[in-house]
Amino acid sequence: MSLPVDSLPHPTRRNVVWLSLQYMMRLVFMFWLRYQARGLEHLPKTGGGLVLVNHQSFLDPMLVGLPLQRPVSYLARDSLFGVPVIGWVLRNTYVMPINRDAASTASIRTALQRMHAGFLVGLFPEGTRSPDGTVGEFKPGFITLIRRARTPVFPVGIAGAHEAMPRGGFRLWPQRVRVVYGKPLCATEIARLSTKGHEDELVAFVRFAVEACQLEAQAWRDGQPQD
């Protein structure tokens, strides 16, 4: 069930739980993962938007949010909210529950409400973590959010998280992790592809942008020269 707008937390101010986790993770990630990010100037300081990210690891939400001065409100499977400690953290870091087996209109409505209230909403269109670190196929569920939100869409690419904590693993390995925040997708092209009958093209367009960010992050991680 969605919350009244006036009961939502502030969309650009991090609460004490977010700030505390951000501080602790910064210490760990900077040392253990030699974390670096670039392209932060592409994300606005205020206003709503949809942040679409490739999915390599459980670390991804923290890796994307680490350098930001405003929170990102993610969608996470509802079963996690019943887990001790984890559920408390999720409820206190702007996370919204979603049933992955039957994504409800309530989840979509809540995400739209957040974006219209000025939040950045984060989503992993692959729906699950990559088994090998490459960008997998995108599930089309995010199309509804793009069509109805009419807010900017920001692609983000992560490289190195798969090696640091791969799918099925729970140990944090020392690695180099890089995150690239891409420019907002062309609003005119998004509007054109959001019309009925262009679903496959829209998915391909968004996936191409996210994959471009991931490949840039991978090249940066590997020390390849940049154009």
Is a pLDDT exceeding 60 seen at residue 103? no
With H, G, I as helix, E, B as strand and everything else as coil, classify residue 78.
Answer: helix
pTM above 0.75, yes or no: yes
Is a pLDDT exceeding 80 seen at residue 4? no
Domain positions in the chain: 12-221
**Burial letters 77-90, b for 16+ CB under 10 A, else e:** ebeebeeeeebeeb
Among 123, 124, 134, 136, smallest CA distance to 217 is for 134
Q: Residue 65 is which amino acid?
A: G
- Cα gap 185→128, rounded to integer Å: 23
- Cα gap 28→159, rounded to integer Å: 17
- The first and second tokens of residue 143, run together, are 């199309």
Tens digit of each residue's pLDDT (9 = 90 or more) over 146-200: 999 999 999 999 999 999 999 888 889 999 999 999 999 999 999 999 988 899 9
Per-residue confidence (pLDDT) for residue 101, from 0 to 100: 59
Distance (Å) of CA 155 to CA 73, 110, 118, 214 = 15, 21, 18, 9
Per-residue confidence (pLDDT) for residue 118, from 0 to 100: 96
**Could you tell me how far CA 84 lies from the centroid of its own chain?**
23
Q: Is CATH 3.40.1130.10 what the domain over 12-221 is classified as, yes or no? A: yes
